[in-house]
Amino acid sequence: MKIIDSQQKDIITELKRIINRGENATEEVAAVVKEVVERVRKEGDPAVIEYTEKFDRVSLNLKDIRVSLEEIKDAYTRVDKKKVDALKLAAQNIRAFHEKQKISSWVSQEADGVILGQLARPIRSAGIYVPGGKACYPSSVLMNVIPARVAGVEQLIMCSPVPGGSMNPYILVAADIAGVSEIYKIGGAQAIAAMAYGTATIPRVDKIVGPGNIYVATAKRYVFGQVDIDMIAGPSEILVIADQSADPEFVASDLLSQAEHDELASSILVTPSRQLAEKVDAEVERQLANLARKEIARKAIDRFGAIVLVDGLQEAAEVSNAIAPEHLELAVEKPFELLGLIKNAGAIFLGHYTPESVGDYIAGPNHVLPTGGTARFFSPLSTDSFMKKSSLIFYTREGLDRVGEAVMQIADVEGLEAHGNTIRVRMARK
């Protein structure tokens, strides 16, 4: 891995290059997505079927497009029981964590004749997009669906492509465990458009969540406003802050856990110890040689991997805050003391025995996290992501009398006479 001293002049340029490594939609991609989305919006199911055959090379008819109960039952016969038990444990922990996030409506008497409050309600429906290309991610099904269920969303629609003609059985089992309402065998921009606008077969939803390729991400951006979306997810990333107490083997394995995702993944170590830096560098090479996905991991490490040498842990925290990583590990002797310096991160893993993978799969907090520096202003997916709030306002005549003059004065400043008149006509009544 490239070892960079924090005092080097080009460190800011190098870190910016890594942070901004995500794919951006080209004009060609944007044009394809616009065509697909607009045709699905206007033509519905026929356009969905046509694009599924064109892009996924799968011929489906409307009778086959929805996954049947028989297919879900059959999926249970094609999976390993131990793996299903692990998914059930993960679901239990995810549900328990997100139950703690639930918000409630409230009402408060602010003064005589004035009652204010907030009404919290779940959205009616949500669409879950699940990739079906390079890899199988049942954990993402759990992470996207369970918070919505905890929030109280009634209808959960899942779409996933089936380029091989059938859906991965672990995806179907995870969807069943999490409580998906309906599953459809479509992917790409056509699936996003179908969920955003609705077709005769696929219901329209209020929000779309879940990762996807550049066409899916561009389609989500295109339909935003017609529906809500979670975020535009970029490539995965990890940043590890480590001191002399860290085990080089542990740190190297954690860096590689992200590098194996895809060629655009980023793995960064920030440490005040040159000795640790050199040991981790050597350990990454040793472990990399034995990985099943070593070609992918090698490209990621070579292009977007780095070890940054700093003067101390305070500077390490400053570097991390500037990067705002998706996953941040504090592999230091006193992680809770360092935690106070951390301002920007999607998920924070504390100590030597809390690898990022435990958060990805089993701990309970959501693994749908902001990437590409957006942890500066975005949060992980949560039950809040599937809630909406309405303000409650109640005034009696006496309450309105106390503030009516102020309302009219502000309306006068803004030149909105009718606004002021809503007060005048009420105050004129005896």
CB atoms within 10 A of CB 72: 17
The answer to whether residues 373 and 384 touch, using CB atoms and an 8 Å cutoff, is no
Does residue 327 carry a catalytic annotation? yes
User: Annotated catalytic residue: which of 283, 326, 329, 356?
Assistant: 326
Q: Are strands 106-111 and 114-122 parallel, antiparallel or unpaired?
A: antiparallel
312: DSSP letter: S
User: Annotated catalytic residue: which of 237, 261, 283, 327?
Assistant: 327
Instruction: Specify the DSSP element, H or E, that contains 308.
Output: strand 305-309
The answer to whether residues 79 and 73 touch, using CB atoms and an 8 Å cutoff, is no
* CA 122/CA 116 separation, integer angstroms: 20
The answer to whether residues 275 and 247 touch, using CB atoms and an 8 Å cutoff, is no
Q: Which two tokens stand for residue 166?
A: 């059938």
* CA 292/CA 290 separation, integer angstroms: 7
Strands (E) located in 113-177: 114-122, 125-129, 155-159
For residue 393, with 0-12 CB atoms within 10 Å meaning exposed, 13-18 middle and 19 or more buried, which class applies? exposed
* CA 145/CA 387 separation, integer angstroms: 14
**Considering only CA atoms, which of 227, 164, 215, 224 is closest in space to residue 189?**
215
**Considering only CA atoms, which of 317, 315, 48, 336 is closest in space to residue 201?**
48
* CA 421/CA 407 separation, integer angstroms: 10
**Considering only CA atoms, which of 106, 85, 98 is closest in space to residue 152?**
98
* Long-range own/partner contacts, residues 69-75 (CB < 8 A, 24 or more apart): 71/167, 71/172, 72/172, 72/173, 72/175, 72/176, 72/183, 74/169, 75/167, 75/169, 75/170, 75/172, 75/173, 75/176
Does residue 28 carry a catalytic annotation? no
Q: In sequence order, what DSSP letters do the residues of 351-377 get, joined into one string?
A: STT--HHHHHHTSSS------TTGGGT
User: Known catalytic residues?
Assistant: 326-327
